[in-house]
Chains A and B, each alone.
Chain A
């Protein structure tokens, strides 16, 4: 009792010879199908390399093109030859020249001996497959595909569109329910013979000749009509990238392949000396690790995700998304505080203490970047130079957030800062913006500058702040935004403060023991009235009470 192997080869023939020798020496007859487009010189070299092995034979050669029926024909020819030539084999394994047995042949033989009537072939109805790339599932069976997908892509796509438009449908022959699956299978002699000698085979072949990628559906469909027991999984480990092309295994996958449950892996890079050396000597058996197919699946799923989704918030040489596809997204949440350091003397330490975040000063101050602890060069080498920052403020901010992943960054902002970044922040769903409008007037009021200067400055800052708030109040804003007018805020400061702690750290327990102290604002109302009297119109503060005085108020 043993099994035979059909090998479809077209490149890396020396590796194919090595593997064929391995199968044959382990007692498995091999029939090799060699693509007719391989030069005769190479064929002769392969044949002479394997001449000493009577159990290795060559089938008639057909020119094979990917995605066409020629591959099925080649398989059928070789399989027929194998079944006829070696009457004692019970199973036939279909492999390619780039397949490598990753477990001892004896283990596979034992597995097949234990399941003498089982066909190991992935076979799934078209409605249930999620893996086809290109969107052609059911349509593989109902449209015609006279053009080559690889060489005549435009014609291929155009003809598919045309058929869809006209509503053209091929009739699926009676008794056939289309199934798809990996093209690498292991069938019992009985099932394979039944498919090959089926009375309707000419009709099947005629039908499948026009199906797209029939090597993934011919046997997968027909086996359903003849088999008594199907185990719908492939014994060959084969992973696909996001374009539907098979992943290649390299030397560094050795550890991974040892954890596979499969018996054969595909495709192996022809120069992966270590893999070939390791797995083609049967010493591989004792070093086998506990099977962990989930790990393999995870790794390859992650690779596809890295290729398709990337790492959000990272802008680099091979990831530069447009605005719609994540170009306006930073790597994690961060907080912008406008008006807080004007209103509180000890806001900075309070926030650090209670929110568990990193609090910077005015990162966008016009003279230099005010990093936390007044650092000159911050994590990742960010410089405190204002001109470097302003040269590309978005890179500055996204770099800062990326460099400090895992720690929420907070910073002060204000109408006195460079405003270029505001637009990005407003559009960034990771931003948390807390704005007390009109607070910019408090330091002006407390300063001893001449009143006309204060008035002009207040007007300038008010203009900038109102533009900013218009930007953040916009329907397109994605940032979580809280805006209070100064009047609203001083009415009851505790509630907004608790709210911002919740927003910054939604799962935290926020019962701060203390609250920051408001600066005394007695007389600020009169100051606003003075501004009005001088012809300015301070609106951002809201309806600030003229006689407000918080000197004796206790916030806690």
Chain B
């Protein structure tokens, strides 16, 4: 949810478009002094991120450490959350069914039933911390440490509490089938687009019971307004758009939330997420897209931010100011959210399943049939 610095100079008028055109200018990687220097800088950055995560490991207090139960080849899920008792039952259930064998969770000062709920799960290891979410790179320092310590050699799924992973054939092919396929393809990471789900009325009006599938309550999404560009430095895509960009960032599109994520990675302790799970280092892990016109396998993170409770939560988050690097710019975003907006329009699409998402081009099976 962080804002990205953008280096595109705006040229509004002028038929000849400059070379700063943001997309389509993806160049082949080349061997040059500049490229080597860039690679060196990114390497330094990655090591700094790791060192930082290592330092912050002391902020984590283990509450329930069941990591001894992790077996070779298990798929692990890493979460950092706060006050998610409402979403947790479905979140755990869904990903457990997909084949996640162990959840490693950082609870950042929850005040609701979250810690109790997590402590009693047989496949959850729980750490607690009261330290600042923002100062910990929005929880990524803590997760980077846990990934470094426990994720090495495993396929690791790193999620937010309001994200539900779906991918082609997910009902019939659990995650081990997917990771097998990715292994065989030599694809070390899976890209997933965050798709905002919303109800058909004001966002506070939906009725949701914990454990229920949020897609029953939040039935709608934006099907075709995603803006794609590439950030050449780390060769990651930068996708924005969706319902939030349309409703809240129509005047400041550059600040609209980043929607591309790389939640599933065959982890090595030397890897590090740079910015939430939007991009990783080393940069080759960001190559979750084909540049030759083909399609790689990808998934979608159904984003359940707009469950009831969003209104109060937004008011609270605005005061806490823990969610954006430059929170002042997002004050109006929170204000709009607290006004209980209606996101639904006649152009919205009703969510019916992964085949629909694939047909719409929001994700792809690639060659996986």
B2 to A: closest C-beta gap in Å = 18
CB atoms of B290 and A314 under 8 A apart: no
1/0 contact trace for A463-498 toward B, CB 8 Å?
Answer: 010011011000000000000000000000000000
Indicate whether A321 reaches chain B with its CB closer than 8 angstroms: yes
355-369 of chain B: CB within 8 A of chain A: 361-369
Q: Specify the chain B residue showing the minimal Cβ separation from A391.
A: B253
Residues of A within 8 A of B291 (CB): 320-322, 325
With A320-B289, A320-B290, A420-B17 in contact, do A250 and B177 touch (Cβ < 8 Å)?
A: yes
Cα A544 to Cα B95 with chains together (Å): 71
| Contact B361–A321 (Cβ < 8 Å) | no
Q: Is the CB of A327 within 8 A of B26?
A: yes
Q: Check if A322 sits within 8 Å of B24, measured CB to CB.
A: yes
The answer to whether A383 and B16 have CB atoms under 8 Å apart is no
Would A387 and B174 be within 8 Å (CB), given that A325-B291, A419-B13 are in contact?
no
The residues of A that contact B123 with a CB separation of less than 8 Å are none
Minimal beta-carbon separation of A155 from chain B (angstroms): 19
Complex Cα distance, B13 from A252, in Å, reads: 53
Neighbouring A residues of B172 by C-beta, 8 Å:
250-252
Q: Is A271 positioned at the interface, with any CB of B under 8 Å from its CB?
A: yes
| Contact assessment for A328 and B227 in the assembled complex, using a CB-CB cutoff below 8 Å | no
A468 touching B230 in the complex, CB below 8 Å, given contacts A381-B348, A387-B250: no
Considering only residues 256-285 of chain A, those with a C-beta below 8 Å from chain B are 269, 271
- Cβ contact within 8 Å between B292 and A321: yes
Interface string of A219-243 (1 = CB under 8 A from B): 0000000000000000000000111
B289 to chain A: which residues have CB within 8 Å?
Answer: 316-320
B242 at the interface (CB under 8 A from A): yes
Q: Contact partner of A394 among B24, B260, B346, CB < 8 A?
A: B24
B23 pairs with A394, CB closer than 8 A: yes
A162 within 8 A of B: no
Q: Counting chain B CB atoms within 10 Å of each CB, which of A383, A418, A419, A424 scores highest?
A: A383
Roughly how many angstroms separate A243 CA and B186 CA in the complex, as a whole number? 10
Complex Cα spacing A327 to B252, Å = 26
List CB contacts (< 8 Å) of B230-258 with chain A.
230, 237, 239-243, 245-246, 249-254
Q: Which of chain A's residues 313-344 have a Cβ closer than 8 Å to chain B? A: 314-323, 325-328
Q: Is the CB of A388 within 8 A of B250?
A: yes
Flag the segment in A45-53, A120-128, A304-312, A534-542 that touches B: A304-312
- Tell me whether B24 and A317 are in contact (CB under 8 A): no
Whether A310 lies near B22 (C-beta < 8 A) is no
* Interface bits A285-312 vs B (CB < 8 Å: 1, else 0): 0000000000000011011101111111
Residues of B within 8 A of A171 (CB): none
Out of B249, B361, B369, which one reaches A300, CB within 8 Å?
B369
Output the least CB separation between B278 and chain A (Å).
11
Complexed CA–CA distance, A385 and B224 (Å): 15
At the interface with chain A, which of B65-73, B129-137, B293-301? B293-301
| Bound Cα distance A302, B10 (Å) | 41
Evaluate contact between A303 and B369: CB separation under 8 angstroms: yes
CB distance A250 to B169 under 8 Å? Answer: yes
Q: How far is the CB of B342 from chain A (nearest CB, A)?
A: 12
A247 CB–B CB distance under 8 Å = yes
User: Are the CB atoms of A269 and B290 closer together than 8 Å?
Assistant: no
A381 touching B347, Cβ below 8 Å = yes
B181 within 8 A of A: yes
Interface size class of A (residues with CB under 8 A): 35 or more
Pick the contact of B365: A303, A382, A390, A423 (CB < 8 A): A303
Q: A422 contacts which chain B residues (CB < 8 A)?
A: 15, 17
User: Which residues of chain B come closer than 8 Å to A303, judged between CB atoms?
Assistant: 365, 367-369
Q: Which residue of B lies closest to A383 (CB)?
A: B246
Which residues of B from 1 to 60 have beta carbons under 8 Å from A?
10-17, 21-28
0/1 per residue, B184-206, Cβ < 8 Å to A? 11000001110000000000000
Contact between chains at A377 and B346 (CB < 8 Å): yes
Kindly list chain B residues whose C-beta atoms are within 8 Å of the C-beta of A322: 24, 26-28, 291-292
What residue in chain A is nearest B225 (Cβ atoms)? A381
| Residues 330 to 389 of chain A near chain B (Cβ within 8 Å) | 375-383, 385, 387-388
Is B12 touching A310 in the complex (CB atoms < 8 A)?
Answer: no
> With a CB–CB cut-off of 8 A, which chain B residues contact A468?
15
- Shortest distance between the CB of B143 and any CB in chain A (Å): 22
B362 in contact with A403 (CB, 8 Å): no
Q: Is the CB of B246 within 8 A of A317?
A: no
Considering the chains assembled together, what is the distance between the CA atoms of A471 and B17 in angstroms?
Answer: 10
Can you list 11 A-B contacts with CB-CB less than 8 angstroms, sorted by A residue number? A252-B173, A303-B369, A310-B295, A316-B228, A316-B298, A318-B363, A322-B292, A392-B23, A418-B13, A423-B21, A467-B15
Give the 5 A-B CB pairs with smallest separation, nearest first.
A380-B224, A381-B222, A307-B367, A467-B15, A318-B298
